[in-house]
Copies of this chain bind each other. A is one copy, B any other.
Amino acid sequence: MRYEPGPESEDCVGAAFAVDYRHRLVFTRDALDPSNPALADAFGSPADRPHRLLVFVDSGVLEAWPHLPRQIAAYFGVRREAFDVAGDLVVVPGGEGAKNDPLVYQQAIAAIHDAGLCRQSYALVIGGGAVLDVVGYAAATAHRGIRIVRMPTTTLAQADGGLGVKNGINAFGKKNFLGTFAVPWAVVEDFAFLETLSATDFRAGLSEVVKVALLKDAALFRALTERAPGLIARDREATETVVRRSAWLHVDHIATGGDPFERTTSRPLDFGHWSAHKLEQMTAFRLGHGAAVAIGLAIDVLYASEVGLLDESTARLVLDTLASLGFALYDEALERTDELLAGLEEFREHLGGRLTITLLRDVGEPVDVHTIDAAAVRRAIDSLAGWSPAERSAAAG
């Protein structure tokens, strides 16, 4: 008998398929109060056995919330029929250092192994963006990916970083050189965590809110401009309003932007980020991500104004808004302009393909450009050095 070949009679065959994802986003307060069902509900109903989970906590969060281990035990203790907590709480050093030290990733992997988690188990991770990133990378690579429920605890992570479908660690001196794209099972935002942040950490996330507002939502930008005094005074209602809106805009962008796993070169949410990434590295992370993004946004709106894309008055309003939120818009690292400009090529290499930088034509009107005029960047930085907020006292008063 001669075996009759099937569709493989052609020498070149292709198969197309799609994979469905769901991103869940939950807003709450005091998530670990045993009477609050929001966190438990985010896992969904267990199928034939209780949800097995391992809990990771940022060391910085644990310092501010020393009763957290007891609360976690109590929360899942009253839900024993639905949850099986595997192993002890894993404490992960907070801050960017966690992403620079490969051992932190190795320890997270080992904890997942030791707890006997399987691909249907969960890592529940409570912390700032760096801890979410490193534990997320461990969860994405153990067993080719276990589920992860993130509880971002900083303004930055709640407004931006904690919502993304990325994870990673730094390597070869490059931010996020190693990582994957992976959609979290759920993101649970507990606003109570914001209350113990330092003023700097509280402020940090607001630059990402300004960013997403400039790209996508003129009304949110107006709210930021007008409510800046309330935000720096950490007014609860003002904070929750802008953080919720920012979080939702990020998730909506992932779901509807057409390229959640960034296979093309356009990354509109990276507005202001080419210089921000480089500034973090140039200052050995003395400038945190939020502070660096504020400067990056200032450079890119002044640059857009220099090259005639954006009204100078709009650029100045962006600078005033950032300043009224308490951001310093100049740093001595900007004097090493050649080194900063090298960040453009590193940004291109990380994204791949040709250089793509998102700029603004107006608030809510982003535009991608593929060349950057170094001389105009230098003029933008000079103009930033000489800039002083027109209405700082009025806005902050």
Residues of A within 8 A of B (CB): 1-8, 11-28, 38, 41-42, 47-49, 109-110, 113, 116, 118-121, 140-146, 166, 168, 171-172, 174, 176-181, 219-220, 222-223, 226-227, 241-242, 244-245, 247-249, 251-252, 254-256, 260-263, 265, 348-354
Contacts and interface: CB of A to CB of B under 8 A. Distances in A.
B248 A3 contact: no
B219 A4 contact: yes
Contacts of A121: 352
Contacts of A177: 113, 142-143
A28 B11 contact: yes
Contacts of A168: 144
- Smallest CB-CB A-B distances: 10 pairs: A3-B223, A118-B352, A119-B352, A15-B255, A120-B352, A8-B248, A17-B255, A120-B353, A8-B244, A18-B18
A19 B19 contact: yes
Given A16-B21, A180-B145, A8 B49 contact: no
21 contacts: A3-B223, A3-B227, A5-B245, A6-B245, A8-B247, A11-B27, A12-B26, A12-B38, A14-B25, A15-B22, A16-B21, A17-B260, A18-B18, A19-B260, A47-B353, A49-B354, A113-B172, A120-B353, A121-B352, A144-B180, A146-B352
Contact of A180 (B26, B120, B180): B180
A28 B21 CA distance: 36
A349 B8 CA distance: 35
B352 A3 contact: no
B244 A5 contact: yes
A336 B110 CA distance: 28
A10 to B, nearest CB: 8
A241 B19 contact: no
B247 A348 contact: no
What DSSP secondary structure best describes chain A's contact surface? mixed
A265 B120 CA distance: 9
B23 A11 contact: no
Contacts of A254: 15, 17
Given A11-B38, A141-B178, A144-B176, 13 more contacts: A3-B223, A7-B248, A12-B38, A12-B42, A17-B21, A113-B171, A118-B349, A119-B262, A119-B353, A141-B141, A143-B177, A144-B168, A145-B261
A43 B14 CA distance: 13
Given A16-B21, A227-B3, A144 B179 contact: yes
A19 B261 contact: yes
Nearest to A179: B144
A9 to B, nearest CB: 8
A222 B12 CA distance: 25
